Structure 1
Amino acid sequence: MQAANGNTVPTDTTDYVTVFVGETMFGLTIDRVHDVFVPAGITPVPLAPREIVGLLNLRGRVVTALCLRRRLGIPGREAGAAEMAIGLEQAGETFALIVDGVGEVLKLGADTQEPVPINLDPRWRDLSLGVHRLDGRLLVILDVDALLAFGDAREAKVA
């Protein structure tokens, strides 16, 4: 496609919601994001996997709260630090992905996209779809399906 100024406009772009865990920036495809909110009233669930911080009520729906820090093996945040949540759906279930912060929506083309680097931490490699190199920063694109894979599918992958 050509813009009015004669320059070629890339048509193969994807929109990503950026989230932060510490200084690291991650991207989630916008079509998987349903809500952005401040999590409140999280009820712990006994014997749940370590990544599950509990359940919360989001507009009358029971939502499983998943800590992205724990899922990625990143040390915990300081007590009292602010946190945000991203509402995601998977197989008819609603999840709240707990992150340190939410950034902006970026429209990125294939020109900045690269495959998952071989030197990326193994805990992250299986949860990533690739990376985008942006002005001195790296945006790690998260695989929502892999992030939310728990139970039998996850155990089968480990075995």
Structure 2
Amino acid sequence: MSRQLATFVIDGAHYGVDVVLVQEALRSQVRTLVPLAPPGIAGLVNLRGEVVLSVDLRVRLGLVPLADDADPMMVVVQVDGEPVSLLVDEVGDVVDVEEDQFETPPDTLAPELRELIVGAYKLPTGLLLALDVARATAQAA
């Protein structure tokens, strides 16, 4: 059975989320910082009049945050019916994957990363890590 994943890149690694969850992808917006927010919360953005939580996936995945002058992209996904903005290095394409390409997360992944990854798809271009959006955003909030 085939699925479509919207892909993005963080620190050179390729990640994907079910395309059904994706509302849109766009350039990063001005964020309002949230005092005393846990690590991984990049702030709040005003998306056409709607206040949306912004999560820095680099921090959630245990990576060094982007430099202050960097211009991340945003992938807005639906989590429990609410939009959440995921900050990523760059947005990729929508790819078709087959169930027979799916495997459990590789043992070589760091523990903090393994808990956020559902599994991996072996593609001709390399591994595509399937991100658990609910876990990646719930633990940050």
Any stretches of 5+ residues in structure 2 without a counterpart? none
Taking the aligned partners of 2:58 and 2:15, their CA distance within structure 1 comes to 12
Q: Give yes or no for the alignment of 1:108 onto 2:97.
A: yes
- CA apart distance, 1:150: 3.3
SS at match of 2:100: helix
Q: Give yes or no for the alignment of 1:39 onto 2:31.
A: no
**Identity of paired residues, percent?**
34
Taking the aligned partners of 1:63 and 1:136, their CA distance within structure 2 comes to 33
Residue number among 2, 5, 10 corresponding to 1:21 in the alignment: 10
| TM-score in terms of structure 1 length | 0.83
Any stretches of 5+ residues in structure 1 without a counterpart? 1-11, 155-159
- CA apart distance, 1:20: 0.5
Could you say which structure has the larger radius of gyration?
1
Taking the aligned partners of 1:17 and 1:129, their CA distance within structure 2 comes to 15
Larger % of strand: which?
A: 2
Corresponding residue number in structure 2 for 1:85 = 74
Q: Which amino acid letter does the alignment assign opposite residue 117 of structure 1?
A: P
- CA apart distance, 1:141: 0.4
**Which gives a bigger RCO, structure 1 or 2 (Cα 8 Å, sep 6+)?**
2
Q: Give yes or no for the alignment of 1:134 onto 2:134.
A: no
Corresponding residue number in structure 2 for 1:144 = 133
| TM-score in terms of structure 2 length | 0.93
Aligned length: 141
Corresponding residue number in structure 1 for 2:60 = 71
Q: CA RMSD in A?
A: 1.6
Q: Which amino acid letter does the alignment assign opposite residue 14 of structure 2?
A: M
